[in-house]
Amino acid sequence: MSDNTSALTVDEVSKVYNTPLLELIYKAATVHRMHNDPAEVQISSLISIKTGGCSEDCSYCPQAARYNTDIDVHKLMTVDQVTEAAQKAKMGGASRLCMGAAWREVRDNRDFDRVLEMVKAVNSMDMEVCCTLGMLTESQAQKLSDAGLYAYNHNLDTSAENYKSIITTRTYDDRLNTIKNVRKAKITVCSGGIIGMGESVEDRVKMLVTLANMKPRPESVPINALVPVEGTPLEDQPLVPIWDMVRMIATTRIVMPKTVVRLSAGRTQMSAEGQALCFMAGANSIFAGDKLLTTPNPDFNADKELFNTLGLTAREPFKNSERIKAKSTEILQN
Ligand code: SAM
Ligand code: DTB
Ligand code: SF4
């Protein structure tokens, strides 16, 4: 399924997803080896630059103002706080810093100007800079690109059909439109979803079909296992079985052979063996650091040990991306 010219169908991808598990892992591992170095894992570090108080109703999210959750709400961080966190992340082996803000959309105000300063500062530290700030207009995407933004994360989360049962305050088309604006500004696209929200297998497959049929495909696809947070409508969802996570990652790898597949939220719920199967099935990125945005993540030493045990190494920043490397050098020199 490496052909990016003919559109994949739900039937084709369902067949992949429903392949007997060991066969599926074997196929995904084979595809992974044909297109990527299986020993190399890209490490991203997350920082929540503005936490909580969000106007949206995403039913999984502890940062929505309308739910009563126990998080440390804070307004936009300073540029210095961000560069300090970026330095720490870099020392820990992260090649990418992803800055998340609990915004519905970006507004053209002083906060956005400060985010542009953050992007410039982190870019000058020779790290890939990623942002996830909600919806973007074309001109906002261009400003982020001019500041040196490498990637923009904007998840589809689930299928178009299931979207309304998870979020009512925006539409699937709003999501797709922001992704289009990001592409137009020549920023790489990071877009994936969450499993374990009560969706059907068909919803999972349909989301992958939408992502795999994008032209070009997203450069990275995060697969999150729901972290059920007390106070959110999804607080009582059962934890995602590891087998579902492995299946989802393997299918993502087979339908998008060259994409960076990120084993994202939910790793604290997984054993080392479970995560090893995810790497075997083609996951080649993680979020490292003891916190995601508001919820815990495995600690640094546990990940180091896991990498040592499995023989995995951290990927260098800007690999496979001469154009963007040139762009960052240009910004550095100016
Ligand atoms: N506000 C921006 C937006 O929604 O696009 C950016 C931040 S938002 C927290 C980024 C992503 O985190 C969401 O799209 C969702 O996929 C993921 N996420 C949020 N809460 C989660 C949870 N409890 N479990 C797993 N993933 C979650
Ligand atoms: C993504 O797909 N997962 C990350 C990142 N992109 C921004 C966020 C996970 C958030 C998990 C819940 C929390 O910590 O608040
Ligand atoms: Fe707001 Fe993003 Fe959370 Fe939705 S996922 S409530 S938009 S911070």
Domain membership of residue 4 (yes or no) is no
Percent of the chain past pLDDT 70, that is, above it, reads 94
Identify the pLDDT of residue 333: 35
Question: How many angstroms separate the alpha carbon of residue 6 from the centre of ligand 2?
Answer: 32
Domain membership of residue 244 (yes or no) is yes
Confidence of residue 184 (pLDDT cuts 50, 70, 90): very high
Identify the pLDDT of residue 318: 79
Identify the pLDDT of residue 329: 37
Confidence of residue 326 (pLDDT cuts 50, 70, 90): very low
**271 burial type by CB count under 10 A (0-12 exposed, 13-18 middle, 19+ buried):** exposed
**Nearest ligand (C-alpha, residue 262):** 2
The atom of ligand 2 lying closest to the CA of 287 is 4
Domain membership of residue 184 (yes or no) is yes
Residue 278 among the catalytic residues: no
Number of domains, the chain: 1
Tokens 């993680």 locate to 286
Model confidence pLDDT, tens digit, residues 191-211: 999 999 999 999 999 999 999
Domain membership of residue 91 (yes or no) is yes
Domain membership of residue 153 (yes or no) is yes
Show the CA angle centred on residue 116, arms to residues 111 and 118, nearest 5°. Answer: 95
Model confidence pLDDT, tens digit, residues 99-110: 999 999 999 999
Question: How many angstroms separate the alpha carbon of residue 287 from the centre of ligand 3?
Answer: 18
Instruction: Return the amino acid letter for 164.
Output: K
- For residue 3, is pLDDT > 80? no
> Quick one: average pLDDT of 123-145?
97
Domain membership of residue 3 (yes or no) is no
- Domain that residue 150 falls in: 10-333
Helices (H), the chain: 10-17, 21-35, 79-91, 110-123, 138-147, 163-166, 172-184, 201-212, 242-255, 272-280, 300-310, 322-333
Identify the pLDDT of residue 256: 98
Model confidence pLDDT, tens digit, residues 34-79: 999 999 999 999 999 999 999 999 999 999 999 999 999 999 999 9
- For residue 139, is pLDDT > 90? yes
- For residue 287, is pLDDT > 60? yes
Model confidence pLDDT, tens digit, residues 221-272: 999 999 999 999 999 999 999 999 999 999 999 999 999 999 999 999 999 9
* CA distance linking residue 320 with residue 334, whole number of Å: 24
φ/ψ (deg, to 5) at 261: -100, 115
- For residue 214, is pLDDT > 90? yes
The atom of ligand 1 lying closest to the CA of 293 is 9
Residue 61 among the catalytic residues: yes
Query: For ligand 2, is residue 132 a contact (CB within 6 Å)?
Result: yes
**In contact, 35 and 257? CB cutoff 8 Å:** yes
Residue 58 among the catalytic residues: yes
Identify the pLDDT of residue 325: 40
> Quick one: average pLDDT of 184-189?
98
Confidence of residue 331 (pLDDT cuts 50, 70, 90): very low
Domain membership of residue 299 (yes or no) is yes
Per the prediction, the chain carries an average pLDDT of 94
Query: For ligand 2, is residue 71 a contact (CB within 6 Å)?
Result: no
Identify the pLDDT of residue 320: 63
Query: For ligand 2, is residue 181 a contact (CB within 6 Å)?
Result: no
pTM, 2 dp: 0.95
Count the alpha carbons within 13 Å of 10 in the hemisphere toward its beta carbon: 9
Domain membership of residue 1 (yes or no) is no
Identify the pLDDT of residue 196: 98
Could you tell me the CATH number of the domain that includes residue 133?
3.20.20.70
